Structure 1
Amino acid sequence: MYKLLSRWREGFSAQGRLQRARNWLEQEGRAPQGFALLGRLAQDGMVAAQYQVARAYLEGQGVPRSPTEGVRWMHRAATAGHAEACFAMALMLLVDPPDGRGGDGLLPTALPAGIECWPDPVAATGWAGRAATLGLPDAQALYGYLLACGPDSVRDVQAARLWCARAAQAGCPQGDLGLAVAHLAVEAPGTDPDAVAALNRAAESGLPTAQYMLGLLHERGWGMTRDTGQAALWYGRAAAQGVRPAQARYGALLLHDRADGPRNMLMAETWLRRAALGGDREAAALLGDLHARGEAAIPADHEAVAWYRMAARQDHALACRMLAVLYRQGRGVAADPELARQWLERAAELGDVTAMSDLAAPLLAGRAEQATTTPALVDFEPAAQAGDPVAIFNLAVSLHAGVGRPVDRAAAALWMERAARAGVVNAAYWHGRMLLEGDGVAADPARARQWLEQAAAQGLPEACLVAAQLRLEGRGGPRDHAGALALYHKAAAAGRAEAMFSLGALYGGGHDVTPDRSQALHWFMQGAVAGHALAQLMAGRYLARGLAGPVDRAQARHWLEQASAQGLDAARAECAQLAGG
């Protein structure tokens, strides 16, 4: 009898009526009645009922959905110190307003007290802190995360770790994830074993974000041995739960053989497509690469165009440049030079140094009339300041030639030296030339020769020619005719006619090289065929006089006439003498 009376009394208590309202709210036929009871309790000041009313409005349970009323009641309950309501306010303030600002989802013109804008991560941090202090583990994890990664005005890494640790101790997986994130916000990834252990616990508990992060640590070898097999395993788990970056990384790993299995092109493309269609621009660009290179399961140029365009529209610089290439070549789409130029310009605007170089090539070569873009568009300075070697070189050339900016030879010399020291072969050559000629920098033949020979060692024909001349003259260092001969051979092998002529002259005698007239004629003939006027003159002389074998007047006349046609008076005189003889 006592138990019966107790249950009867509880049914009329505030808590009893709250529980009855909740039960009715869950029953389809009685949900409106349940909401009505909740409303009366909320109006009477019951904070728990106010929270339930807010949820009912936000979810459309027992009452037409109204985000406006939902926010108002949630704010009221949170202000009264309801932990779950505080947590809900924090979560809502981290995302866009419910239903935007149109239709029946209009937020109040005057936002609740303390909310100046929406979303508002600073205000969200405040509400998360209230809920955390009230003992809600999920809120403690969120509060720790915001203290670690939120706006600068609320960041406190030490406090972040404390709150995340408290959430983790309460059995909240998000607390372990927060501990890892708090560590990653200030330390090199993987350097804290405790953070890695926390990330492992969060991943094992099924949190997809933790699984993705653990995949990154395994793939890149942060705090553990690099293991693409383990990376693929964790990426795969996160990908299956819809984590877009994990889908992209999983697809990328499946393109390559791994310790745990061979490449799987079809599966790789499947995951890359999911990520790309979900908005991942890196996945879209990678799909474009696969089709453009013919490496896709069923490669097609039109597919390359479609994927590159998807990434390019999200400002992926490389995709913009590759789209320009396809439009220029007419691959997968009708050739369109104008669209090719537009996409190349967009790539350059986004900082793609190769695109900048392509656009600037006519200008840097002194062919401004052939340029299809304005000099102002080609600005290498941001990429150069960031340390890109090619951009540094192109900036130096721009400053030297006055392309897109005033001529500044001194600044050009400084940037050229930086590019040379960064390993740009052309820059080593130009830096050597500038030192040799005192162009923007004090002349220094010794240093010039060092830089020119460094570029020559990398096979740059222009550098071989200048360095060889310095060795012949003994300028900037000792005379070295044998060394000059070797450099001329290297330049001649690259097709340089002037090197062929110089080889003929060296082998012809008068230098510190054993004379060999047959070799001299061979190289004079090579240079003559390549159109070098002096080589044509010398070939004519050798053949007319039989200096390296039998006389051949017909061939001699041919080469002397060729040299004469290029304006050599000596060839014209010898040709007349040959005809008179």
Structure 2
Amino acid sequence: MRTFLSGLLGAVSPTARFRHACRLLEHEGRSAQGFALLGRLARDGMVAAQYQVARAYLEGNGVPRSPVEGVHWMHMAACAGHVEGCFSLALMLLVDPPDHRGADGLLPVALPDGIDQWPDPVAATQWARRAAEGGLPDAQALYGYLLATGPHPVRDPQAARMWCERAARAGCPQGDLGLAVAHLSAPDQLPGTDPDAVAALIRAADSGLPTAQYMLGLLHERGWGLPADRAQAEQWYARAAAQGVRPAQARYGALLLEEGADRPRNVMTAETWLRRAGLAGDREAAALLGDLHARGEAALPGDHEAVMWYRRAADRDHAVACRMLALLYRHGRGVAADPAQARHWLKRAAELGDVAAMTDLAAALVAQGQDARSTPDTPLPDFMPAARAGDPVAAFNLAVSLHDGVGMVADPVQAASWMGRAARAGVVNAEYWYGRMLLEGDGVPMDVARARHWLERAARHGLADACVVAAQLCLEGKGGPRDHAGALALYQRAAHMGRAEAMFSLGALYGGGHDLPPDRTRALHWFMRGAEAGNALSQFMLGRYLVKGLAGPVDRVRARYWLEQAAAHGVRGARDELDRMTRADEHAGS
């Protein structure tokens, strides 16, 4: 009888009713009945029931889904000290509601008492602390993570490590991940220098945490604490990408675009992963997709697609994408040509620090010339503050603006001063410009020796214009000794970069009369290259070589063609040569 009464009383105790309600809630056909029982217990003050009611509202289990009510009951359970309630509330307060519509995209329009804003990472940290102190390993890992990477008022690197270690010892993979994150986010440590953190990251990745897998791929790709291993990086990125980690999808796609030691590029698969990441908002992936379409490498390439992807990346302040979008607008590729839009995106790229855009912008300012000066209302970048702060590229652009009077009064002396600063800081275009200014006495006393120094320096850095000018100085022995071999090397570099005048000069050097052994076969080769590139003097010399058979058989038909091309470009000697050919042909026919 005592046993019977004890069982009867137990069946109607709050704890027993709570267990019974939870069982009903999990039963598909009786979940509403279970929720009703839990609701009564929650209103009577049972903390565990309050937590379960919150979950039911948030998940729509046994009751229509209501984030408003879910937050209300979760906050009530957390305030009463429910450990999992504290942890859940911390997670909820870290979510940035899309379109400001509240948790999971649906409002809390009226926040519960004690919650002043949403999201609130500082408040989330405090709730995570209460759950961590309650012994919940997942909460310990979250608390450690927030102490390592959260808002500055709550950061505590030493405490972060302690809590993550505690979670890891309890067998929580997120604790291992937190250890790695705390190490990687430490400002006084290089990534990968803590072997314990690297080992923790490997454990977290092996346990299946996709964020850890992405981070491990990053360490392998960059050689941080692990041997640089592209294949390993690719494998870890692939695993994380398959679980939806957006930056892993972007990096995996980028690696697939590269030529591997043991495999070719896989553009089709790369495009698939980049598209997923790009549609999810990854700006690097969007920029790479723009490149694929602009270069005609995508599965269905198109300039309009390039514009779309570059714009996605540019709208997220991707500097290179801004510059490429400017280029498409300038040339009317995939979109109607629009100089104003081209200038807008080029300026934006320069503001974001893209060095090539800054150089392009300076060139555009020069090209505008009188147009920019005649329209003073046209907004132009102000390079002065950044130049004064020591930015060498800004100094170069300021010098260009001062030199040509674009957006300000022309001042050649100040232009030369700023150009010299930029050149000494290693801006290649500035090295070339400064060399030309010294060569011509433009804003600075003429100094051919120093001019040659700066032009040769820019040439060594691969600037084709500098190669051509420096080669001419070497050829003529200006600013230093005559150096025909050096001139030859500089012209070859410029020719390989497509400079037609350098091709002509190579032909002339190999043709004889210089401090080099003549080689007319090579001379013919370079005259032909220059002629095909549109250089009129190359066309003239090629015609002469062919009409006289200077490096092979005579070919009067081709000779006449190239001489006519040169004559059309205004080379007077070509017209004289054609006249001689005509007289010779008439004499032979008589």
The bucket for the TM-score relative to the shorter chain is 0.7 to 0.9
Partner of 1:84: 84
- What are the Cα deviations for residues 456-512 of structure 1, in whole angstroms up to 9, with x where unaligned? 77744445667888x66xx8x8xx5x4599879979998889x99xx9xxx99xxxx
CA 1:128–1:435: 2 relative to 1, 3 Å: same
| CA deviation vs aligned residue, 1:392-448 (integer Å, no higher than 9, x gap) | 422332345553356677765554234223444442344456678998889988756
Distance verdict in 2 for CA 1:102–1:72, change over 3 Å: closer
Give matches, 1:491-510, under 5 Å: none
Q: 2:454 is matched with which residue: 451, 454, 457?
A: 451
1:159 shift after superposition: 0.5
Shift of the alpha carbon at 1:333?
A: 4.0
Checking the alignment, whether the CA contact within 8 Å between 1:144 and 1:161 is kept in structure 2 is yes
Native 8 Å contact 2:144 2:178 kept in 1: yes
Q: Secondary structure at the match of 1:377?
A: coil
The AA in structure 2 aligned to 1:363 is L
- Cα separation, 2, equivalents of 1:132 and 1:495: 71
**8 A Cα contact 1:389 1:422, kept in partner:** yes
Q: Decide whether aligned partners of structure 1 residues 258 and 96 sit closer, same or farther in structure 2, where only a CA change above 3 A counts.
A: same
Tell me which residue corresponds to 1:107.
108
- Give the TM-score normalised by structure 1: 0.74
What displacement does 1:68 show?
Answer: 2.1
- Judging changes above 3 Å, is the alpha-carbon distance between structure 1 residues 340 and 430 closer, same or farther for their aligned structure 2 residues? closer
In the alignment, which residue of structure 2 is the partner of 1:56? 56
What residue number does 2:519 align with?
A: none
1:273–1:283 Cα contact (<8 Å) kept: yes
Establish whether residue 22 from structure 1 lines up as the match of residue 25 from structure 2: no
Contact 1:53–1:73 under 8 Å retained in 2: yes
- SS of the aligned residue for 1:87 comes to helix
Deviations 1:356-375 (A, max 9, x none): 44344253368132689966
Q: Aligned match of 2:349 in 332, 347, 350? A: 347
3-state SS, counterpart of residue 328 of structure 1: helix
One-letter code of the match for 1:352?
Answer: D
1:172-206 Cα deviation digits (max 9, x unpaired): 11100000000001121111111111110111111
Q: Confirm whether residue 293 of structure 1 aligns to residue 286 of structure 2.
A: no
| Segment of structure 1 superposing worse, 145-154 or 14-23 | 14-23
Q: Which of the residues 229, 236, 239 maps onto 2:238?
A: 236
Distance 1:450 1:83, change over 3 A: same
Q: 1:152 to 1:443 in 2, by over 3 A?
A: farther
Q: Who is 2:123 aligned against? A: 123
TM-score, normalised via structure 2 length = 0.73
Distance 1:496 1:92, change over 3 A: closer
Q: 1:229, 1:260 within 8 Å by CA — same for their partners in 2?
A: no
Give per-residue Cα distances to partners, 1:541-575, cap 9 Å, x unaligned.
xxxxxxxxxxxxxxxxxxxxx9xxxxxxxxxxxxx
Tell me which amino acid in the other structure corresponds to 1:50: Q
| Secondary structure in 2 matching 1:305 | helix
**Equivalences, count:** 505
Give SS of 2:116's match. coil
User: Is the deviation greater in 315-324 or in 190-199?
Assistant: 315-324
The offset of 1:108, in angstroms, is 5.4
Between 6-15 and 325-334, the greater mean CA deviation after superposition: 325-334
Percent of aligned pairs with the same residue? Answer: 68
1:75 aligned partner: 75
Letter in 1 for 2:297: E
SS of 1:89 mapped into structure 2:
helix
Secondary structure at 1:63 match in 2: coil
What is the alpha-carbon distance in structure 1 between the residues aligned to residue 116 and residue 442 of structure 2?
60
The 1:239–1:82 alpha-carbon spacing in structure 2 relative to 1, beyond 3 Å, is same
The offset of 1:74, in angstroms, is 1.3
Separation in 2, partners of 1:403, 1:47: 71
Gaps of 5+ in 1: 514-528, 532-561, 563-581
Structure 1 match to 2:422? 419
CA distance in 2, matches of 1:211, 1:343: 36
Name the aligned partner's letter for residue 48 of structure 1.
A
Task: Note the residue ranges of structure 2 that are not aligned, 5 or more in a row.
Answer: 516-534, 538-569, 571-590
Q: 1:80 to 1:301 in 2, by over 3 A?
A: same
One-letter identity of the residue aligned with 1:128: A
Root-mean-square deviation over aligned CA pairs: 4.3
Secondary structure of the residue that 2:78 maps to in structure 1? helix
CA distance in 1 between partners of 2:360 and 2:87 (Å)? 53
Compared CA separation, residues 326 and 435, structure 1 to 2 (3 A): closer
2:69 corresponds to which letter in structure 1?
E
The 8 Å contact of residues 288 and 304 in structure 1, kept in 2 or not, is answered as yes
Q: Does 1:41 align with 2:41?
A: yes
CA contact (8 A) 1:362 1:370 kept: no
CA contact (8 A) 1:235 1:246 kept: yes
Query: What letter is aligned with 1:404?
Result: G
| Stretch deviating more after TM superposition (413-422 or 119-128) | 413-422
Pairwise CA distance, 1:326 = 2.7
- 2:80 corresponds to which letter in structure 1? A
Q: 2:401 aligns with which of 379, 398, 403?
A: 398
* Partner amino acid, structure 1, of 2:266: N
1:24-83 per-residue CA deviation (whole Å, 9 max, x = no partner) reads 222233323322222222222221111112222222222333222222221111111111
